[in-house]
Amino acid sequence: MKYKRILLKLSGESLMGEQDYGISPEMLSQYAQEIKQAKEKGCEIAIVIGGGNIFRGLQGASKGMDRVQGDYMGMLATIINSMALQGELEKQGVKTELLSGLTIEPICKEQSRKRSKDAMKEGKVVIVGGGTGNPYFTTDTASALRAIEIEADVILKGTRVDGVYTADPEKDPTATKYSELSFQEALMKQLKIMDLTAFALCQENNLPIYVFDMNQKGNLLKVVMGEHIGTIVK
């Protein structure tokens, strides 16, 4: 196994499947199966999910809503997604621990490094909702922060695309895929892999980011086991 402990970052939008908003039960089930496969191989897993399928603070702010209020609403959206994934994992027989940057009794306890690491030692998949618990920070930054806290080997960024490209492959058919990038190269080329705060945290703490297609069945297990199918930034 190449990656013994991972932080899996999922976008809220990916949970929509073919829907225009909300949570697709089919996508939820598929993701839970992927996570279960990797867990059964002995991988320690923490997960951070975005909330864009329900609400985005920045979009609310662009339409005149108070930014801080909008960001907190976005954090609550990530907790809804986290609860949905927790429910599906438990249904499939995977033990979980739901923690959060925002404390919401009786749903979840407050995230702490000790709680996360203890839960993983007990064989649980840890899901961390609520972003960083602060406005003005994205779930990208929350992912980087949580990954550093738990001393993860890598952030696995599960997307709809099989890596990082020179341009958007859904819009530009001539776009070519990078196999490997340095943080400096990614910044110079202005590749939008994660936001700059998250990127700086990963670079400072020497934490690699691996971008891959999460929607392809079996891909999470392939990455964990060391098969190179995406793009690594290190």
> What distance lies between CA 70 and its chain's CA centroid?
20
Segment 36-41 mean pLDDT: 98
pTM over 0.85? The answer is: yes
pLDDT average, residue stretch 156-169: 92
Tokens of 103: 């404390």
Query: 76 by DSSP, 3-state: which?
Result: helix
Q: What is the pLDDT of residue 58?
A: 76
Element housing 221 (H / E): helix 219-225
Quote the pLDDT of residue 110: 95
Average pLDDT of the chain to the nearest whole number: 95
Domain coordinates of the chain in residue numbers? 7-233
Give 7-233's CATH code, choosing from 3.40.1780.10, 1.10.238.10, 3.40.1160.10, 3.30.750.210: 3.40.1160.10
Residues whose CB falls within 8 Å of the CB of residue 142, separated by 6 or more in sequence, listed in order: 48, 101, 128, 130, 131, 132
The pLDDT score that the predictor gives to residue 148 is 98
The model's pLDDT over 108-140, given as tens digits with 9 standing for 90+, comes to 999 999 999 999 999 999 999 999 999 999 999
Residue 60 has pLDDT above 80, yes or no: no
Half-sphere exposure of 226 (CA within 13 A, CB side): 3
Residues contacting 75, CB < 8 A, separation 6+: 51, 101, 102, 129, 130, 131, 133
Residue 93: left (phi > 0), alpha (psi -120 to 50), or beta? left
